[in-house]
Amino acid sequence: MTDLLEVRNIGKRYGNVLALRDVSMAVRSGEVTCVLGDNGAGKSTLIKILSGVVQPDEGQLLIAGRPVALAGPRDALDRGIATVFQDLAMIPLLSITRNFFLGNEPTKGSWPLRRFDRRTAARITREQLAQMGIALRDPSQPVGTLSGGERQSVAIARAVYFGAKVLILDEPTSALAIKQAGVVLRYIIRAREQGTGVVFITHNPHHAYPVGDQFVILNRGRPVGNYPRSGISREELIQAMSGGHDLEELSHELELLSGHRPATSALQGSPPSAGPD
Ligand SMILES: Nc1ncnc2c1ncn2[C@@H]1O[C@H](COP(=O)(O)OP(=O)(O)O)[C@@H](O)[C@H]1O
Ligand SMILES: [Mg+2]
């Protein structure tokens, strides 16, 4: 099967900062590709390249096996690559329906009497969200009344509805409480079940492991590893992601500071972080 999207030996510099170097990965239909790494690892730079926001300095981007240069985000979207950025681009005071269609509203009647088809829009919104497992009481309620997790879900449902073949999610769970993160992880699985190729960016291996088919780990812009799920255990992923060495160092440092021995295993086994990035 041809990969939906692939990067080969991608590199990007910002002045003196090497944001990415020699990164390769593939996105396949019905799979979740997780991109993991700490702050500054180059995760956002990578997805900006995949979504046409930033041009790489080096390497190749291929869509369905063909090398392409994306002219911009609109070009990427036209080719079926949808990105849900961290700030979501939703308007809190507008209804869920309006946010769902933002700029693609169904209309009825013909010019000059053409107007927003509120009924159809509300029905589609309700149906699409139901398919993602969200039962809406009222699609006309403002998006601002939804929880963070539900808002992410609306953004995901919207992208899937408008035909995303590749869905890129930049840290969709990092600002959420544990329960809400679970909601979003469930929608990631739904999107995958519908055949979408999902790119899930996170710094949290506890969020990535349950849903990922493939794990790409970055550290300061460099690839640390690229593992299929069958090739890595949860513990190994946590280890590879935090860097066993860094963790030992931190442990030692804390030891010196506090004058007693902290349990490294407690650090490794910490629950999904609920705090913002
Ligand atoms: N527009 C930019 N100008 C200069 N440096 C940038 C820019 N965007 C990112 N960087 C730098 O590139 C590196 C990777 O950043 P980023 O891709 O945002 O990492 P992540 O999303 O994993 O935290 C960081 O050192 C960051 O400071
Ligand atoms: Mg980032």
pLDDT digits (tens, 9 = 90+) for 161-213: 888 899 999 888 887 777 778 888 988 998 899 899 999 999 899 999 999 99
DSSP 8-state assignment for residue 269: T
How sure is the predictor about 271, in pLDDT bands with cuts at 50, 70 and 90?
A: very low
Largest CA distance in the chain: 77
8-state DSSP, 219: E
Collect residues with CB below 5 Å from ion ligand 2.
43-44
Please, which pLDDT band fits residue 266 given cuts at 50, 70 and 90? very low
DSSP code for 171: S
Instruction: Specify the pTM.
Output: 0.80
Number of Cβ atoms within 10 Å of the Cβ of 130? 12
pLDDT confidence tier of residue 254, bands split at 50, 70 and 90: confident
Using one digit for the tens of pLDDT, what is the confidence trace for 122-133? Answer: 999 998 888 777
196 Cα to the center of ligand 2, angstroms? 22
* For residues 12-32, average pLDDT: 96
Distance 40 CA to ligand 1 centre (A): 6
21 lines ligand 1 (CB under 6 A): no
Strands 66-67 and 58-63: antiparallel
CB of 44 shorter than 6 A to ligand 1: yes
Annotate 131-154 with b (16+ C-beta within 10 A) or e (fewer).
Answer: ebebebeebeeebeebebbbbbbb
- Candidate of 44, 53, 203 to mutate for ligand 1, largest count of ligand atoms within 8 Å of Cβ: 44
Question: Residue 230 half-sphere exposure, CB side, CA atoms within 13 Å?
Answer: 0
Domains of the chain: 5-91+164-268 (3.40.50.300)
Q: Is the CB of 10 under 6 A from ligand 1?
A: no
Which of the listed residues 17, 174, 201, 241 should we mutate to test ligand 1's pocket, taking the one with most ligand atoms within 8 A of CB? Answer: 17
DSSP, collapsed to helix, strand or coil, labels residue 36 as strand
Atom of ligand 1 nearest to the CA of 46: 17
The pLDDT of 46-59, averaged and rounded, is 94
A 10 A CB-CB count for 121 gives 22
Between 67 and 73, residue with greater pLDDT = 67
Residue found under tokens 């693609």: 104
Tokens read off for 80: 């079926």
